[in-house]
Amino acid sequence: MAKQEQNDNARPEIIDPPENLDQYDTIFIGYPIWWGDLPMAVYTFLESYDFSGKTVIPFCTHEGSGLSGTKSSIENTCSGATVLDGLAVRGSIAQNEQDSARESVTKWLSDIGYAKS
């Protein structure tokens, strides 16, 4: 089904999306990597709003692909946004080794200037 959506370049409907993102300057976008890309519903989300002047920060879970070019996909879709370096965490680590996952998140937030290390 995920593959079919990708092949069809589908834009699955998001139930009850925010009306606008006016109150946000910085937006963290989290998603699993599916077939080396963003789930198509994330494109639905990104294409629904004007991101110009906003800061977009990607993070994903994966099982080997890392961010897999999704930072560029987000940059291409969110014109006018500043897209920071994202974090990729293995889904199995997020699930089963949460101390280690938390450490990666904390380090990353510090690296991009969003938290103390």
Give the interface with ligand FMN as residue ranges (CB under 6 A): 2, 32-36, 61-65, 91
Cβ atoms 115, 88 nearer than 8 A: no
**43 CB neighbour count, 10 Å cutoff:** 20
Beta strand 55-62 pairing with 26-32: parallel
Residue with smallest beta-carbon separation from ligand FMN = 91
Closest C-alpha to 77, from 18, 105, 37: 37
In this structure, what DSSP letter does residue 34 have? B
